[in-house]
Structure 1
Amino acid sequence: MLRVLSSSKANFWPRSYSLAFNYSRSRQIFRVSMYPNAQEQGALQAAENLMNETMARYDPSHDAFHVQRVRKTALSIARALSAQQPDLLEAEAADPYGYFLPFFQSLSSEHGLDLISDGRARQVVKVVENVSWTTEKELRSTGKIEEWHRVCVELHCVQDADRLDAIGAFGIMRCAAYSAAVNRPLHAPPGRLDTAVQHFYDKLLHIQERLKTEPGKQMGAKRHQFIVDFLNSVENEYNAEALEVACTA
Structure 2
Amino acid sequence: MNQSLIIQKTADYIKQEFSDDSSGHDWWHIYRVWKNAVTICEHEKADLFIVELAALLHDLDDWKFNDSGDETPLRAKAWLDSCNVDISIADKVCEIIMHISYKGAGVENKMKSLEGFIVQDADRLDAIGAIGIGRAFAYGGYKNRPMYDPESAPQMHATFEQYKNSKSATINHFYEKLLLLKDMMNTATAKKIAEQRHEVMLRFLDQFMNEWEGKDIT
Q: Report the TM-score, using the length of structure 1 for normalisation.
A: 0.60
Contact 1:115–1:121 under 8 Å retained in 2:
no
C-alpha distance in structure 1 between counterparts of 2:148 and 2:104, whole Å: 28
C-alpha distance in structure 1 between counterparts of 2:217 and 2:195, whole Å: 36
1:185, CA displacement in angstroms? 1.5
Code of the aligned partner of 1:201: Y
Identity percentage of aligned residues: 29
Q: Equivalent residue for 2:120?
A: 159
Structure 1: give runs of 5+ residues left out of the alignment: 1-37, 83-112, 245-249
Q: Measured at CA, do residues 224 and 52 of structure 1 come closer, stay the same or move farther in structure 2, by a change above 3 Å? A: same
State whether structure 2 residue 20 is matched by structure 1 residue 46: no
C-alpha distance in structure 2 between counterparts of 1:195 and 1:208, whole Å: 21
Code of the aligned partner of 1:181: Y
C-alpha distance in structure 2 between counterparts of 1:242 and 1:80, whole Å: 42
Contact 1:208–1:220 under 8 Å retained in 2:
yes
Q: Equivalent residue for 2:36?
A: 73
State whether structure 2 residue 141 is matched by structure 1 residue 180: yes
1:57, CA displacement in angstroms? 5.2
Aligned with 1:236 (options 173, 194, 210): 210
Structure ranking higher in strand proportion: 1
- Which has the greater radius of gyration? 1
Helix, strand or coil for the counterpart of 2:127? coil
Structure 2: give runs of 5+ residues left out of the alignment: 46-80, 154-167
Q: Equivalent residue for 2:72?
A: none
Contact 2:210–2:216 under 8 Å retained in 1:
no
Q: Which runs of 4+ in 1 moved over 4 A?
A: 135-138, 241-244
Alignment of 1:59-138 (within 5 A): 59-82=22-45, 115-117=84-86, 119-134=88-103
Q: Equivalent residue for 2:151?
A: 191
Q: Measured at CA, do residues 187 and 55 of structure 1 come closer, stay the same or move farther in structure 2, by a change above 3 Å? A: same
Q: Equivalent residue for 1:85?
A: none
Code of the aligned partner of 1:175: A
